[in-house]
Amino acid sequence: MPGPVDGALQVDGLIRAGLPVANFLIMLGIGMALTVPELAQVARRPKPLLVGLAGHYLLLPLIGFAFAFAFLFRHSYELAVGFVLIAACPSASSSNALTYLARGNLALAVTLTASSTLLTLLTIPLLTGAALQLFAGQSRPIPLPVAQMLGHLVLLVVVPLLAGMAARHLLPRFCRVAESWLNRIGLVLLLGLIAGIVVDQREVVLPWMGKLALATGGMCLAALCAGHLLGRLCGLERRDAVTIGLEVGVQNCLLAFLIAFNVLQSVTLGMPAAIYGVVMYVLAFAFVFASRRSIAARAAAGAEV
């Protein structure tokens, strides 16, 4: 299948070229808005972190398996496994920027992203291996690029975050102005990158979009809403529940691409992640807009959020 493979590799190259720049700027701006006491509060009050991890690694895999059964198993076991692979991956670092825009809990978002990335070393082999066994009757080892994943976490999350926090400490006046502009520029680059992928790779993406848009959109919407609802049912503040919704719903689809194409050697298996990676930003921005309106309205009314 040379056409889809070539297209997928071009998409991957485009993401590699643009996403790190956009992500670095976003995380730098988030670091300028984050304080050490806020991070320390996550450690002192671990309940939101534990609820978020439960949502990501108990609730989200159930949603992934449910959509694999409901939409895809009869058509292709590879598509079914692809949905479970999405659920097994960590949160995307862009979930932190979306949390910032949604007026969620930045410290909780950053901690959840880092924790989910480390736990992925266990969850991808376990969940994807279980899906292969269930849907295809296969038992295959799934090696992971551990050094690459940890390097990605350090370079694209930890380094700009610490740089932003240091800048806030040394140049507080400058950071108050620069913070919002860095996030705006980073998000514009991110949205432009997504649009560029769809336009440049329309011959590859659009046929799959027609087949998978409903299922991927449904899974993403279910994850966003279920994560938020879980937080509220556990008695968390609205800001924490919004954060958990975004951390559960916004997944690292690039990692899913790499595993599907390079490790499992299947273009079809990677297509759910490709389409999810486009659809999730549309739904995530709608979720952010709704959350901002809700939190602003409650704040104006003097309600506890």
pLDDT over 90 (residue 190) = no
d(CA 102, CA 184) in angstroms, rounded, equals: 14
Is pLDDT at 107 greater than 50 in this prediction? yes
pLDDT at position 302 is 64
Higher pLDDT: 23 or 126? It is: 126
| pLDDT above 50: residue 100 | yes
What is the arithmetic mean of pLDDT over 160-164? 81
The region of weakest confidence among 64-73, 79-88, 205-214, 227-236 is: 205-214
> Mean pLDDT in the chain?
78
Q: How confident is the model at residue 304 (pLDDT cuts 50, 70, 90)?
A: low
pLDDT at 140 over 80: no
Q: Which residue has the higher pLDDT, 140 or 103?
A: 103
Q: What is the pLDDT of residue 284?
A: 92
pLDDT, mean of residues 270-281:
86
Residue 4 pLDDT level (bands cut at 50, 70, 90): very low
Residue ranges covered by each domain of the chain: 2-295
Question: Hey, what CATH topology would domain 2-295 get?
Answer: Na+/H+ antiporter like fold (1.20.1530)
Higher pLDDT, 157 or 97: 97
Q: Which is more confident, 5 or 137?
A: 137
Residue 279 has pLDDT above 80, yes or no: yes
How confident is the model over 205-248, as pLDDT tens digits? 677 777 788 899 999 999 999 999 999 999 999 889 999 999 99
Higher pLDDT, 30 or 5: 30
pLDDT of the residue at 3: 37
Residue 65 has pLDDT above 90, yes or no: yes
pLDDT at 6: 39
